[in-house]
Amino acid sequence: MAAAPLDKVVDEGMTKADSARESQARIDAMVDSQQAKLITYRALLKQIEGLEHYNQQLETQIKGQEALIERFDGSIAQVAKIERQMLPLVTRMAESLEAYVNLDLPFHEVERRERLAFIDETISKADINVAEKFRQVLEAYQVENEYGRKIDAYQDIIDIDGQPQEVDVLRFGRIAMVAQTKDTTTTAAWNHQAQRWDVIDAGTYRNSVRNGIRMARKQASIDMVTLPISAPEVAQ
């Protein structure tokens, strides 16, 4: 009879032990859950802190970009203003260059007229920016400037005393321009005031012009030449 109460006590003890284990398991699970939540919470705090710092950096960058955009807008407006002022200037430069060529000695006329026509066409095109238009006009001015510094000889057909003649033209910058027929029997000088070719004394200028043509073509060494040079006109 004594064994029965003992068994009951043992059973109750085991039941309590099982209950205690279950309780401890629940407590451990709750602790683990709370610990996991705490870790997650701390990780989220770190992420929030990092995002706030990143947002501050982005805000600084955005403010800098906005200031840069304002400067660019100002620069674009200034460029547009300059372009509006530049195009009339380029047009006037081209017109002045054409007027100068018209008044200049009549050498390389086809080449120079083609250059002027090309510039006029360029200025009229809307798809070419004003900087390129200015560059081309300035380049044409430089070419015209170089003409005044060079000795040049080339073949041409000119009108002498009403007759077309095939000649070699010799040009010393813009100081003098003379021509000589292939057989060297006729030598002429350009009379700029009268706008015509005048025959000049062959005895005085024939050999000198012929040697000048050879020098311009690098067929002879540089030497003195005698050329007819018109006296400057007196200003009125």
pLDDT at 236: 44
156 has pLDDT over 50: yes
Is residue 235 over pLDDT 50? no
Q: Is the whole model's pTM more than 0.75, yes or no?
A: no
pLDDT of residue 234: 44
The SS3 of residue 157 is strand
Per-residue confidence at 135, pLDDT binned at 50, 70, 90? very high
Indicate the range of 61-65, 93-97, 163-167, 209-213 predicted with least confidence.
61-65
CA 189 remoteness from chain centre: 44
pLDDT at 125: 92
Question: Which token pair is 91?
Answer: 């047009």
* Gap between the Cα atoms of 221 and 159, Å rounded: 30
Residues with Cβ within 8 Å of residue 20, at least 6 apart in sequence: none
pLDDT of residue 130 exceeding 60, the answer is yes
d(CA 137, CA 122): 9
Q: Tens digits of per-residue pLDDT, 14-71? A: 776 667 677 777 776 776 777 777 787 787 788 888 778 877 887 887 788 777 777 7
Beta strands of the chain (E only): which ranges? 151-160, 163-172, 176-181, 187-191, 196-199
The angle at the Cα of 85, spanning 84 to 86, to the nearest 5 degrees, equals 95
pLDDT averaged over every residue in the chain: 84
For the chain, the distance separating the N- and C-terminal CA atoms, rounded to the nearest angstrom, is 159
160: Cβ contacts below 8 Å, ≥ 6 apart: 167, 179, 186, 188, 197, 199
Within 13 A of 44's CA, how many CA atoms are on the CB side?
Answer: 6
pLDDT digits (tens, 9 = 90+) for 97-115: 999 999 999 999 999 999 9
Residues 6 or more apart in contact with residue 47 via CB below 8 angstroms: none
Inter-CA distances, 110 with 88, 100, 106, 113, Å: 27, 15, 10, 5
